[in-house]
Amino acid sequence: NPGLKPERSRSLDVGVEHAMAGSTLIADATFFANRYDDLIVTVSGAFAGSSRYRTDNIANARARGLEVGARWHPIDAVAIRTAWTWLDTEILGVDGATSEAPFPYQVGDQLIRRPRHQVSFEAGWSHARGSAFVLLNGRGTVRDIEPNFAAEVFDNPGYVTVAVGGALRLT
């Protein structure tokens, strides 16, 4: 397709941050919205009238959500952060056939690999000779695609990861 062009997106982010308790506690919230246009897809028979090529810029999607978090510094050596993200995504119809979506998706499906909920918690300590941290990240169930032939969309369960580390300067 000689007319194939880069995929496009339009995004909006609006956020606020507020310091409280003598600036030891900082809360933040951000709303975001994204619209994806001209996504490159393989053109199937269901929407062959939208393009004469096997691949073309005809798919569309959207994502929007809210991130909220808080940082707390009870003392100079300690920092704690927690955050939660809510994400709402949707596959939209292709150009020229708004009720159709690229196989194996349906119009209105969630985007793949985008969890509706994510959470994180991080605590850190630092001193002149050492530091330590613990980090927990969790995400909810996501839609995913069968990796070999992309023939099936399925639910992939959520999970939590934990990382613990530290450093000590000996000399």
Q: pLDDT for 35-86, tens place per residue? A: 999 887 777 666 556 667 767 777 889 999 999 999 999 999 999 999 999 9
Give how far the C-alpha of residue 50 lies from the chain's centroid of Cα atoms, to the nearest Å: 29
For the chain, give the mean pLDDT: 89
For residues 116 and 14, give the distance between their C-alpha atoms in angstroms, rounded to a whole number.
19
SS3 of 22, please?
helix
pTM of the model: 0.81
Q: Is 113 left (phi over 0), alpha (psi -120 to 50) or beta?
A: left
pLDDT of residue 96: 77
Are the beta carbons of 114 and 67 closer than 8 angstroms? no
94, two tokens? 């292709």
For residues 7 and 34, give the distance between their C-alpha atoms in angstroms, rounded to a whole number.
13
* pLDDT more than 70, % of the chain: 93
CA proximity to 67, closest of 23, 115, 123, 134: 115
Q: Could you tell me which residues are beta bridge partners of residue 55? A: 42
Q: Could you tell me which residues are beta bridge partners of residue 131? A: 126, 167
